Every structure is written in structure tokens, then in C-alpha cells.
């Protein structure tokens, strides 16, 4: 199936025009596209490419399941191939979206019976933003590890009582130190499902800490970015 855009260009349905780019920091930005032409479950990711470029990368979906626009949150990786190109996109540019992919998401069986603790490093917060927006009333807690307080991307989207920002390089967060240090000190109720997303070092360390607190693999879900 093809779509005809206003400028008369016919393109495949996988193509979307960028409707907005919002910079949250010098490196991180939200790309907004029109409402997706596919349905997805919060927590899933897409594969994204830029028209005319042969490479693609995966990005978690940042927006909620039923929103009028479709968003991803990206951090530019210095020296990276793709993310600097995304940062240079302009409103109206064409991107190609494939997906949705993945099984990372809310444990539906435990949705009402358990607390859901979302543990993220950096842009690993993205799927949790989508899950929380898509599930009003969810019993959740977010633990977000970043270097500087400014990287607590759109932290006002979360209930301040349920959100802890751990900052390792300044003391402006809720906890001064790595999120793994926070996890060592934290107490969690027995009926908790943990969701870990971000870089593999954080995920492996966090899993060990949770294991030490008596939580088995069946109560931990993982999405590794790199």
C-alpha cells in the first residue's frame, strides 16, 4: 500500500514525516511522528531508518499506546553512525519505521497484584514512559540512573512520589550516586516485578543486587540497549 503526501510524493506506508524534534538536552531529543499506522504494546521497540540511508537502529517507543502522535527518545552517541543523523533531522523529513518488535512490557498477569519497579539508565527510561502513560492507575516506582540531573528526561511526567533520579556526577538528583548504589540500599516488597532497561553493565549489576535481595529471574524482565 502506498500513501500520497501533500507534496505529491507517493511512499510506502512504513514512511513517516517527522512532525517535530524537541531537544531535552544538548544530546537528547524526542522525535515526534504522526500517529502510528500499526498498533503496539507499550515497551515494544521499532527499527528506524532515514530515507536514502541503508542503516537502521532500534528505538523503544516513548509515547503511549493510544496517543495521537508517535514518539521516540534518542540520545546522540558521540562518534556513532546513526544517532547524530537523527539529531540533524528536520520537520518534514522522511523516516522509515518497521515494527513493532519485542516482548518487553508490562507483566499483564501481575498488573494489579504486584508493584512494578522500572529501573532505567539514560534513555532506557523510554519504554517505561510508554508503559506508565498507557496504564493509568498502575502501582509503580521508577528508579532512573543518569550522570547529571538535566538527564532526568521529562521527569515531571511521573508521580514525584514514585520517581527517584540517581545522579552519579552531580548532587542535584534525589539520590547522589549510581542507581546500583541506590538499589543496594532500597527495600522492595515481596510482590514486585522488576523491569530493567539500558546498558548491559547496569543490567547485570542490578540483577545481581536483586538476586541478593531474594528476587529470582522470574520476577525480573530485561531490555538491553548496548
- Which parts of this chain interact with ligand FAD (CB under 6 A)? 45, 57-60, 72-75, 77, 80-83, 122-123, 126, 223, 225-226
Minimum separation from the CB atom of position 81 to ligand FAD (A): 4
Nearer to ligand FAD (CB atom), residue 3 or residue 38: 38
Q: Work out how close the CB of 9 gets to ligand FAD at its nearest, in angstroms, rounded to a whole number.
A: 26
- Minimum distance, C-beta of residue 215 to ligand FAD, in the bound complex (Å): 23
Pairing of strands 192-198, 115-121: parallel
State the SS3 of 130-198.
HHHHHCCCCCEEEEEEECCHHHCCCHHHCCHHHEEEEECCCCCCCEECCHHHHHHHCCCCCCEEEEEEE
Q: Which residues pair with 29 in a beta bridge?
A: 23, 74
- Please state, in angstroms and rounded to a whole number, the distance separating the CA atoms of residues 96 and 167: 35
User: Residue with CB nearest ligand FAD?
Assistant: 80
Cell 529470582 sits on residue: 216
Which region, left, alpha or beta, applies to residue 161 given φ > 0 means left and ψ of -120 to 50 means alpha?
Answer: alpha
Which of 82, 118 has the CB closer to ligand FAD? 82
Those residues with Cβ within 8 angstroms of residue 124's Cβ, 6 or more apart along the chain or in another chain? 60, 196, 197, 198, 199, 202, 223, 225
CA atoms in the 13 A half-sphere facing the CB of 161: 2
Closest to ligand FAD by CB, 104 vs 140, is 104
Q: Least separation, in Å, of the C-beta of 128 and ligand FAD?
A: 11
Q: Which is nearer to ligand FAD, 29 or 192 (CB)?
A: 29
* Residue 52: its H or E element: none
Residue closer to ligand FAD, measured from CB, 123 or 192: 123
- In the complex, least distance from residue 54 CB atom to ligand FAD, rounded to whole angstroms: 12
Distance of closest approach, residue 22 Cβ to ligand FAD, in angstroms: 14
Q: Which is nearer to ligand FAD, 61 or 117 (CB)?
A: 61
Q: Whole-number minimum distance, CB 59 to ligand FAD, in Å?
A: 4
Q: Compare residues 82 and 140 and give the one whose CB is closer to ligand FAD.
A: 82
3-state DSSP percent of the chain in helix, strand and coil, to 5:
25, 35, 40
| Whole-number Å distance between alpha carbons of 150 and 210 | 27
Amino acid at each position: 500500500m502506498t500513501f500520497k503526501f501533500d507534496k505529491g510524493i507517493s511512499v510506502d506506508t512504513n514512511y513517516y514525516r517527522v512532525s517535530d524534534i524537541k531537544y531535552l538536552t544538548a544530546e537528547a531529543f524526542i522525535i515526534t511522528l504522526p500517529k502510528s499506522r500499526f498498533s503496539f504494546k507499550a515497551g515494544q521497540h521499532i527499527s528506524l531508518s532515514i530515507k536514502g540511508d541503508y542503516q537502521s537502529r532500534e528505538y523503544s517507543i516513548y509515547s503511549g499506546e493510544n496517543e495521537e502522535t508517535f514518539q521516540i527518545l534518542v540520545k546522540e552517541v558521540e562518534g556513532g553512525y546513526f544517532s547524530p543523523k537523527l539529531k540533524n533531522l528536520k520537520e518534514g523529513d522522511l523516516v522509515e519505521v518497521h515494527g513493532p518488535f519485542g516482548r518487553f512490557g508490562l507483566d499483564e498477569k501481575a498488573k494489579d497484584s504486584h508493584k512494578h519497579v522500572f529501573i532505567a539508565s539514560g534513555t532506557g527510561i523510554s519504554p517505561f514512559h510508554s508503559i506508565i502513560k498507557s496504564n493509568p492507575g498502575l502501582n509503580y516506582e521508577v528508579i532512573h540512573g543518569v550522570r547529571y540531573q538535566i538527564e532526568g528526561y521529562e521527569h515531571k511526567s511521573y508521580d514525584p512520589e514514585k520517581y527517584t533520579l540517581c545522579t552519579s556526577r552531580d548532587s542535584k538528583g534525589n539520590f547522589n550516586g549510581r542507581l546500583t548504589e541506590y538499589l543496594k540500599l532500597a527495600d522492595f516488597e515481596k510482590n514486585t516485578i522488576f523491569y530493567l532497561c539500558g546498558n548491559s553493565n547496569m543490567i547485570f549489576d542490578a540483577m545481581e543486587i536483586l538476586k541478593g535481595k531474594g528476587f529470582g529471574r522470574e520476577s525480573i524482565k530485561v531490555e538491553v540497549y548496548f
